[in-house]
Every structure is written in structure tokens, then in C-alpha cells.
Amino acid sequence: MFAVHLLAFHFTKLKEDQIKKVDRFLHQLRLSDDVLQDVTARFQAEMLKGLARDTNPTAAVKMLPSFVRSLPDGSEKGEFLAVDLGGSQLRAHQVKVFDDGKQSSQLESKFYPTPKEVTQGNGAELFGYIADCLSDFMETRNLKQKKLPLGFTFSFPCKQTKLDEGVLLEWTKHFRVRGVQGTDVVSSLHRALQKHQDIDVDVLALVNDTVGTMMTCGYDDQRCEVGLIIGTGTNACYMEEMRHISLVEGDEGRMCINTEWGAFGDDGALDDLRTEFDRELDLGSLNPGKQLFEKMISSLYLGELVRLILLKMTKEGLLFNGKVSTALLTKGKIETKHVSAMEKYKEGLSNTREILRELKLFPSEEDCVAVQHVCTIVSFRSANLCAAALAAILTRLRDNKKLLRMRTTVGIDGGLYKTHPRYAKRLHKVLRRLVPTCDVRFLLSQGGSGRGAALVTAVALRLAAQRRRLDAALAPFLLPPSTLQEVRDSMRAELEYGLKRETQAQATVKMLPTYVCGMPDGTEKGKFLALDLGGTNFRVLLVKIKSGRRRSVQMYNKIFAIPLEIMQGTGEELFDHIVQCIADFLDYMGIKGARLPLGFTFSFPCRQASIDKGTLVGWTKGFKATDCEGEDVVDMLREAIRRRNEFDLDIVAVVNDTVGTMMTCGYEDPNCEIGLIAGTGTNVCYMEDMKNIETVEGNEGQMCINTEWGAFGDNGCIDHIRTKYDREVDEGSLNPGKQRYEKMTSGMYLGEIVRQILIDLTKQGLLFRGHISESLRKRGIFETKFLSQIESDRLALLQVRRILQQLGLDSTCEDSIIVKEVCAAVSTRAARLCGAGLAAVVEKKRQNRGVERLQITVGVDGTLYKLHPHFSRILQETVKELAPQCDVTFMLSEDGSGKGAALITAVAKRLHNVGQK
């Protein structure tokens, strides 16, 4: 027993001594975590260089766009061919993808050799050989009678401008085919296939093997967004945000980037980490000075690195008693499969002895231990470097998503990872230390890049079909200039009908006189009360106006809610509630005894007989209080004040919110004669010449006309541009058949239009995996504020997904892109239609003045105009396009409704006093 322990001690001591000897000799290959984190930082910098248009030409890591924009979603189906070129064999595949709810596929393959005369011959021979192999495969599978799409896995760096086109940048690994570099490899394969007239194959996708690996694993695990190859060569790909890829047009969605990280260090970025053995191996390779990172990692080179190290150690007398064999001097005699065999857990030492003897070396026990440790250090450095670069990719993914901690899956393939006994464990362990904030699952590729190429093709076909159906759904929202001109001309005609006595009753645009006959001139002064009713909130304001050189407007206000039961109760309940709010405000301000002049902003269509009388034509914007339509709202307010019998008010003016907006801006800019509201509802007012207003007596001066253009189209004149979604929204509204223009342009309805489209697209299987959630079925769930958030240029798609998740919608990245596009189509149409209507108004103003060119200011208010990221710009561009002879300035109203009501009251008082004098 003692002898056994002594022998074990002796062997352990021997092993420790040999390990220390090798560690000292190869100290440069042993990389600390600090060094690896530095490598991660260097690779992150290289990624940024490769992604940027200006620095990409000189970047070593090319970050090549793959034009793969989506991972599989499980709905892919069909039969595909795939050809895989990149390693020691050419592979042909038949792939069947089933849409059976189980995400299953079937793969049949055949392997063909890639002899040296093919891999180092000319391009015509290479692609002719590929076509011959594919023809043979189709013959054996009885596929020649079918027309099948093909995905071409080509595992070499290519610059792609689309999915089915790729120009070879340079050969890697052991390939050196003449006349191919700088040419489109897909075209070359097409030409070779055309010589086989008995087969009909359409090459739809060019795929790097890393991309194919990611797609294969992404089909099985939708968290997979990284593909990694560690085999004959090494490379990685990942899903990058389009907004970061300046090499490709567009900033929506994501695209898979083929990093081509094998070239990392070709610009000298890793020179301090490369050893004399790396330099010697590089000089003896087919491509000196290139793929330097790959030469430190991949299985094509690890065996040779080990040989070079053993050769030097032997020459220095550290191994084999200094005796060098011819085999040890021969390049390629030690392969990575030998390294793997020597590192096996139990039989590693015996494998080492056997392999060394095959090399005509006569190792001692010490030699075997030392050689085994050399293999461990070389393969360990490979795993370390691979982990450092992968850590950079994972960190970038996490930062793109703005997450503190991220769960993701890495799809992986390659002989070194799969067959080396310790490589995977080392890689995983080091990666956990380098990126502790990422929970990474490694998923082995099943079917590899061949299945992946088929899946890329299937996804491309799915996206193309989805694109066609999405375009068909959104086409009616893309109004051409000729249609907008028709809308402008129809609106202009309706403006005229509303002004004429004989046609006003039938006109949809009622052109209601407001009896506001003057604009502020700067002499207005005094204290005024203002009421603002037009939405779910009601405001009471005290407005102090000062005139003179230091003219100013000071406002104090209080906001009160109007419950739904009041909005849709009786008229008496509504006005009693209003008076209750006024009483609270007067108490709050301590002015209950003062009898101040009051302007009442009442943002609903009223027919006025004077400035202080307004008969409600009809409710809009969700109000439905009974016994109000056809009644004078000023009288109803006065009656409610009398019922309360606590205070009295001098109600001078009833005002529409558009008129208040115009007056507010007119106080700052005398050129303002138009008011526009683009918010919950939409409307326009403008100063019209009295001689054109046949519904009011008198021909002198001007009067503000409240167009109430929201009802434009209620006579059917714009039915040809209304979509089925507009009709669905209209039918479900409180006032079917009315306010049709407003329902296409205002904030109260845009979100509901989007919801109807999303339901339709989901039924077609284009969204949310075809599942209509309970939340999506709820009317009003998709508010217009979500459009503004979703369409923001600053909002990443991940944030769009979060908004959708808040609405109970389980979305993918691709869903978010579609939702954003739907929102953009709906809001753009709204802005264009609003611009066409406004163009009719400004053109009318120009012709009224009889000038060739008009300069005018439009006062604007409304949340849609102010908060939506693109609405105001599109509206302004449309007005410029449709009214080219008008120079229109848009001025945002500051608190238009309240301030405007007080200013109208002040102007009315001033004009009244002038009339009395």
C-alpha cells in the first residue's frame, strides 16, 4: 500500500513539475481575465468601426450586413434545397419545413468531397462542380421534376447588397479559387445551374454559415439571436438594430450582421498578444497577414500551433531529450483531432503517448504530461479569445435593448466546439466571468447551416408574402397628389356652399358665422373670466389683460373633470355641473362677488345669431347630453346660474376653440387670420369678407367663420377614399354617418383605426402569431397617444414592444415594425388630408384678397399637432404642395381656448364701446 501511495505522489509531483515548466515556456499564451476584458473592449471598438460607413473601408472586422431581417416565427413552410460550401466537404440538402404547430422540419443530405483541384482551381470549375453535385443530389432524391427555391450557404466573407447577391471579398481557410474574388457568387452559381437544363432551381438566398446556424437554432428557440461557428474556421453573427447599420438604408427593425471576426487583429490590434508561434504559423499559411484571430482559435490551425511549440521545446532540450523527428518537422503532421485526443479526461495520456510514437518520437512519462499541457494551453487560449469576442457581442445586444440583465441563446456549430472534450465547458465558464449580466444558453445546431439556409429562404418567402398583404392593407392610406387635389377642390366647393344662403342648409361644411368681427389691436385690457368646454376636462380661468408698452396676459385657471355620466346625461345635469365648477373657482380665487365679463369657449358646432348666442347644432367628441341640441347654450348656462342663485356673470361671447386659437395668435401676430385645431377633434376658422357671407346681413368688414369642417364628406363626396377600417370605426361611434372627415383626421379616432387594421392583419396571420388577444378586441384600447410614442424617431423597437406588451399584446420585433408602419400610414394620411383641407382655406383667402402671392399666419393648437412627432411637418408640407402661391407661417397657440375667449370678450367690449360712441 505504501508503494502505491509513493508512486502516486511521485507521479503527481512529476506532473506538477512538467506543468510549471510548460507554463513558464508558454506564459504568453496564458491570458488573464483583465487581458480578456481588454480584448472584449478592443473588439467592441472594431465592431463600431465596421458598422460605420466612414470607417468600414479600413476596418478589419467588416461587420457585413446579411439582409436577413427576421428570425423564424414558426409559420414557415415548404420544400427547399440548400447547398453548403465552406469546409472540407460540399453538402447538398433537401429540407421540408412543416407548418403543423410543432415547428418541425425534415432534412435529407448528401456529402461530396472538395478536392484540391476544386478548392484551388478556377471559378468556372468550382461552380460547375457545385452544379454537378446538386444535379446528382436531385437525381438521387427524385427532385428534378420540381421547381424548388435554394439557399446557398457560402462560408466566406461576402459584401451583400441584397439577400440573393454577394460579392466575395477574399477567400479564407484552405480555399484559393482564381477569378472569383470581387464577383457575385450567386450569379456564378446561376450560370452554372443553367447548363443543367433538366433542373429548375431558383437561388433566393446567400447565407453565411454563422447566419445559417443562428436561423436553425432560432427556429427551435426564439431567444436565439447569435450564431457562432468554432470549427475549421471561426466566425459569429448577431441581430443588430438597423439604426446602427449606416451601410444599409433604413432604420427600422433589425438585420443579422456577419461580423467576420476571423480578421480581428489584421490591422495590428492584437499584435501584443500574438506569440512567435502565431507569427511563424501565419507566415507559412496560404494567406499571410490575414485572418489572424481565426489562426489563434480555429481547428484548421490549433494542431499546427501545437507542432510549432513542441518543435521549439524539443530544439531547446525541454522535450524528447532534444531529439527532433522528421514528422515533427513536417507541416500539418499534428492536427486538431490529435489535440482533442490528447486532452481527453481518462485516456488522454495514453493517447498522447501513442500519437507521439506515430510521429517517430520516443516520449518519457514527463514528455507526455508536458505535451498534454501544451495542448491544454493552446486550446484554452482559443476558448478564452472566443469568449472575449463573444462577450463583446452579448454586451452590445444587452446595451441595444437597454437591459441591466439579459437572457439570450447562442446557436453554435463547428467540430472544435462539438468534439473537443473540454472546449465547450471552458468557453462557457470564461464567458460567465466576462459577462455576468448575461444569462446565456448555448444551443447546438441541428442540421446546421444547410437547414439554416433553407430557413433563411423560407423566412424570406414569408416576409415577401407578408409584405404584399401589408401593402395591400395600407395602400388605401397612401393618397397620391391627384387625390389630395380632389380633396382640396371638394373642400373649397363645400366652403362656398356653406356661405351661400340657398345651399347652406344642404352643405356639410356649415360655415357658421361667429360674430367675431375684429382682431386684437393691443388696446385690450381688464379682467375677464373664461370657460373652456370641449373634452373630458373643463377649465375655468381668470385672465388679466394689460395694454400699452408692457402689454401682457396673465392667467389663473383650475381644471375640473367631467364624468362620463355627466357627458352623456341630461343637459340640465351638464350645465349644473359647469356652474358648480365655476362656483368652486370663484371661491378659490376669492372673487365670487365680482361681476366680470365672461367668454365661453364651447368647442361644438353652434349656429350663432350674435356673439353671445349659440344654438348647438349637434354634439361631437363623445358628448351626448340630452335636451341640448337646438338650444341656446348661453341661455342654458344663464338658467343654471339662476338655479344656483349664488353669483351672476356678464356672458359676453360664446366662442369656438378654433376662434380662440386664432385670436390668441392674432394677439402676437397681426398676420394671423386662420385658426386650426388638430387634436381630439379637428376644425378650422378664418376671417371671411362680409360680402361673401350671404347668411348674415351686411357687406362691410370681416367676420370669423367657424367652418366646422369635421362634417366634410357626410354627403358622400369623400367616400371613395374611405377605407373599410374607416367604416368600421364610424359604425361603432356615437354618431354613425357624421363627422366623417374628423374621423379620418382627428386624435379621437386614429388609434381606433389602427386597432381595426391590427385586428385585420392578425386575422391574416401577419401579426401576433395570428392570435387576437382580449385587449385588442376592446374598443378604445389603442389610444392616439400610443401612435405618437410608437412613431417617435427616438423610440427603439424594443420600447415599441414594451408599449404593445402594456396593451396585452405579445409581440415580436417584426410585429413592432409592422405596428409602427401601420401607425405611420394612418397618421400620415390624417396629416395629408388635414393639409389638403387647409390648402383650400388659404387659397380662398388669397383669392379673396386678389393677390398673386399671399403671406398669412395660421394659429394652431391641439395635441395631435403638438405632440405627434411627424404630423405637423407632413401637414405643412402638404399645404405648401397644394397651395404653392401661399407662404404660410404656422404659429403654436399658447393656451388658445382660455386666453382666446378672454381676448374675444375684450375685443367685443372694445367694439361695443366704439359702437356706442
Mean pLDDT rounded to a whole number for the chain:
89
Q: Domains in the chain, start-ordered, CATH in brackets?
A: 28-44+270-444 (3.40.367.20)
Burial grade of 763 (CB within 10 A; 0-12, 13-18, 19 or more): exposed
Do residues 378 and 302 lie in contact, with contact meaning Cβ atoms separated by under 8 Å? yes
Residue 869's pLDDT is 92
3-state secondary structure of 165: strand
Residue 884's pLDDT is 96
The residue assigned the cell 392674432 is 666
406-413 vs 224-230, strand pairing mode = parallel
Q: Which residue has the higher pLDDT, 16 or 293?
A: 293
Distance CA 126, CA 118 (A): 5
* Catalytic-labelled residue, pool 603, 788, 872, 893: 603
Distance CA 264, CA 270 (A): 8
Do residues 566 and 592 lie in contact, with contact meaning Cβ atoms separated by under 8 Å? no
Distance CA 619, CA 623 (A): 6
Distance CA 154, CA 299 (A): 19
* Catalytic-labelled residue, pool 657, 726, 730, 815: 657
Residue 10's pLDDT is 47
What is the identity of the amino acid at 146?
A: K
Lowest mean pLDDT among 445-449, 458-462, 564-568: 445-449
Distance CA 470, CA 477 (A): 12
For 722-865, list the strands marked E by DSSP.
Answer: 854-861
How distant, in Å, are the alpha carbons of 223, 702, 896, 906, 914 from that of 911? 71, 13, 21, 9, 5
Torsion angle in degrees (nearest 10) through CA of 182, 185, 190, 192: 90
Burial grade of 565 (CB within 10 A; 0-12, 13-18, 19 or more): exposed
Residue 4's pLDDT is 41
Residue 622's pLDDT is 79
What is the identity of the amino acid at 878?
A: T
Residue among 395, 552, 566 at smallest CA distance from 41: 395
Do residues 657 and 603 lie in contact, with contact meaning Cβ atoms separated by under 8 Å? yes
Half-sphere exposure of 201 (CA within 13 A, CB side): 33
Sign for the pseudo-dihedral over CA of 806, 808, 814, 818: negative
Residue 657 annotated among the catalytic residues of the structure? yes
Tell me which range, 162-166, 430-434, 760-764, is most confidently predicted by mean pLDDT: 430-434
Residue 2's pLDDT is 43
Residue among 49, 20, 35 at smallest CA distance from 273: 35
Residue among 206, 211, 213, 127 at smallest CA distance from 159: 206
Phi-psi region of 321 (alpha: psi -120 to 50; beta: other; left: phi over 0): left
Burial grade of 483 (CB within 10 A; 0-12, 13-18, 19 or more): middle
Residue 28's pLDDT is 92
- Residues 272-288: pLDDT tens digits? 999 999 999 999 998 99
Do residues 776 and 755 lie in contact, with contact meaning Cβ atoms separated by under 8 Å? yes
Strand order in the sheet with 78-85: 104-113, 89-98, 78-85, 147-154, 200-207
3-state secondary structure of 502: coil
Tell me which range, 112-126, 192-206, 302-316, 607-621, is most confidently predicted by mean pLDDT: 302-316
Residue 798's pLDDT is 67
Residue among 73, 117, 118 at smallest CA distance from 97: 73
* Catalytic-labelled residue, pool 398, 539, 829, 846: 539
H or E segment to which residue 80 belongs? strand 78-85
- Express as a percent the part of the chain with pLDDT over 70: 96
- Residues 12-58: pLDDT tens digits? 555 677 788 888 999 999 999 999 999 999 999 999 999 999 999 99
Q: How big is the CA angle at 452 (ends 446 and 453), to the nearest 5 degrees?
A: 145
Q: What is the mean pLDDT of residues 315-322?
A: 92
Torsion angle in degrees (nearest 10) through CA of 117, 119, 123, 128: 70
Residue among 448, 381, 439 at smallest CA distance from 413: 448
Please measure the distance between the N-terminal and C-terminal CA atoms of the chain and give it in whole angstroms. Answer: 130
Do residues 57 and 415 lie in contact, with contact meaning Cβ atoms separated by under 8 Å? no
Lowest mean pLDDT among 234-238, 595-599, 838-842: 595-599
What is the biggest distance separating any 2 CA atoms in the chain, rounded to whole angstroms? 131
Distance CA 7, CA 452 (A): 54
Which residues are registered as beta bridge partners of 84?
91, 153
- Residues 521-579: pLDDT tens digits? 778 788 888 888 877 788 898 888 888 777 788 888 899 999 989 999 999 999 999 99
